[in-house]
Amino acid sequence: MVEVVGRLALIVGFGTRFAALVLAFFTLVASFFFHAYWSVTAEVQMVQQRLFLKSIAVVGGWLAMTAFGAGAWSVDGQRFAR
C-alpha cells in the first residue's frame, strides 16, 4: 500500500518530498529484510548482494527527489509558486 500511494503521489506531484522520503525509508527497511546477502549461502550471495545494492541505489534516487522536489510542472510546484 505504501508503494502504490507513494508512487501515485510522485506521478501526480502532490506531496512529493514527503512521499519520496517515505518510499526511501520503506525501500531501505525492505532491502535489509528481503536481500540479506550476509546471511545466505555462497551460491545465492552474489545475486542477493546485487539486489541489495540496487535497492540502495533506488534509495539514493528517492533521497534526491526528497531534496529537490518534483519541479515546476507538478501540483506542488503550482501550489507553492503563488
Residue-wise pLDDT tens digits, 1-59: 888 999 999 888 889 999 999 999 999 999 999 999 999 999 999 999 999 999 999 99
pTM of the model: 0.87
pLDDT at 82 over 70: no
What domain count does the chain have?
1
The Cα–Cα gap between 69 and 64 comes to: 8
Domain that residue 51 falls in: 2-80
pLDDT at 74: 82
Cα dihedral across residues 11, 68, 23, 53: positive or negative: positive
